[in-house]
Structure 1
Amino acid sequence: MANVTFKGNAITLLGSEVKVGDTAPDFTVLANDLSPVTLADSKGQVRLISVVPSVDTGVCDAQTRRFNEEASNLGGAKVLTVSVDLPFAQKRWCGAAGIENVQTVSDHRELSFGKAYGVAIEELRLLTRAVFVIDSNDKVAYVEYVPEATDHPNYEAAIEAVKAAK
């Protein structure tokens, strides 16, 4: 399993670590209107999945804004931000932040995504910071479990992985 800390403290991640070359695990999360969203909903597209503990924190806010800005240059790739924030809070935050190119989805109900991708933090019931790129054939093309959950991911590497997965 990925060795990750949160504010310098060791954390326990639930689920299985995902690796490049794996078939991407399916999941069910909630859109801002409470409708279910699954991996299969974007079948045939390249997907960048940005995972954050909460959109209401500084690094998570910056991460979501950065991928929102980059989304229009990713040739039609689907960009999702997953957190355990409630769908209502995500919708409010997106409206206030002007987020239009990233779909925020909530894993609060079942931690379906968190457990499938090995990012659910047992001690906090949050998701650790990570980025996944899934190609149009549902193969994992890029994985980054950020070693310290309060740090930024490698944006450039994730963006290059999306472009290479086309």
Structure 2
Amino acid sequence: MANVTFQQNPVTLIGQEIKVGDSAPDFTALSNDLKEVSLKDYQGKVKLISVVPSIDTGVCALQTKRFNEEAEKNGNVKVLTVSMDLPFAQDRWVKKHDINKLDTLSDHRDADFGEKYGVLIKELRLLARSIFVVDSNDKVTYTEYVKEVSDHPDYDAALEAAKKAN
């Protein structure tokens, strides 16, 4: 498993670590209008899945804004931001910050995404900051489990991986 810390303290991630070449696990999460969404809803598209602990915090907000800005530059790439925030909070934040080129998904109900992608922090019931790029055939082509949850991911590497998967 990935060694991840939160404020420099080790945390336990629940689930199996996803590796490049794996089939992306299907998952269910909630859209901002409380509809159940799964990976299958994005079938045939390249997916850049940006995982944040809470969208309404500094690094998470910057991460979401950055990927929103990049979203339309990458053709067939669909950007998803997944967090444990309630759908209502995500919706409010998205509207306040004019985020309209990516989908925000809430894993709060079942933590299904968190467990299947190995990013659910046991001690906090938050998701560890991570990035997954999944090609149009649902194969994982890039992963990053950010070592310190409060650090930024490697944006350039993730975006390059999404371009290559396109």
Residue 27 of structure 1: aligned partner: 27
In the comparison of the two structures, how many residue pairs are matched? 166
Correspondence for 1:39? 39
Partner Cα distance (1:78, 1:157) in 2: 16
Deviations 1:69-126 (CA, angstroms, capped at 9, x unpaired): 0001111211000000000000000000110001100000000000000000000000
Answer yes or no: is 1:81 the counterpart of 2:81. yes
The answer to whether residue 107 in structure 2 is matched with residue 120 in structure 1 is no
Q: State the alpha-carbon separation in 1 of the partners of residues 102 and 16 from structure 2.
A: 25
Q: SS of the residue aligned with 2:74?
A: coil
- The CA distance in 2 between the partners of 1:105 and 1:114, in whole Å, is 12
Equivalent pairs: percent with the same residue? 63
- Could you list the per-position Cα deviations for residues 35-55 of structure 1 after superposition, in whole angstroms to 9, with x for gaps in the alignment? 011000011100000000001
RMSD: 0.4
Query: Partner of 2:135 in structure 1?
Result: 135
Answering whether residue 104 of structure 2 is matched by residue 104 of structure 1, we say yes
TM-score, normalised relative to structure 2: 0.99
Structure 2: 5+ residue runs without aligned partners? none
Q: Return the alpha-carbon distance in structure 1 between the equivalents of residues 76 and 17 of structure 2.
A: 27
Map of 1:69 onto structure 2: 69
